[in-house]
Amino acid sequence: MSDCLFCKMVSGEIKPDMVHADTDLIAFRDIHPQAPTHVLIVPRKHIASLDTARPEDAELLGKLLLAAQKIAHQEGIAASGYRTVNNCNADAGQTVFHIHVHLLGGKKLITPFG
């Protein structure tokens, strides 16, 4: 998708502050971090949101979470705890319509869920 911000990062047209890259995904620091560690994990394949993912994307979706685990260890936040977040569509806060997981940690996170 030529107008997708994350596709431009995947292609190398835009160069984010990368923390991980492999054949299936990239991960980079968020430019507006909400925690000391705030990394976005993005598949190379364009999938607009979790709502548009298909059964054949299951393995790739699993790789997003396993990458979050690996990066949490790499960043030194795994033992104290971290959060993974996926916002699906506009009312949930999704602003870039290329599925991605936020990895947050490095401080005690307050939960909005009670």
| Catalytic pick among 32, 38, 73, 100 | 100
Cα–Cα distance, 24 to 1 (Å, whole number): 17
100 an active-site residue? yes
Provide the pairing of β-strand 101-105 with 37-43.
antiparallel
Q: Spell out a b/e string for 47-57, using b for 16 or more CB atoms within 10 Å of the CB, else e.
A: bbbbeebeeeb
Cα–Cα distance, 19 to 2 (Å, whole number): 24
Measured in Å, how far apart are the chain's first and last C-alpha atoms?
38
Continuous segment of H or E residues that includes residue 29: strand 25-29
Active site residues: 100
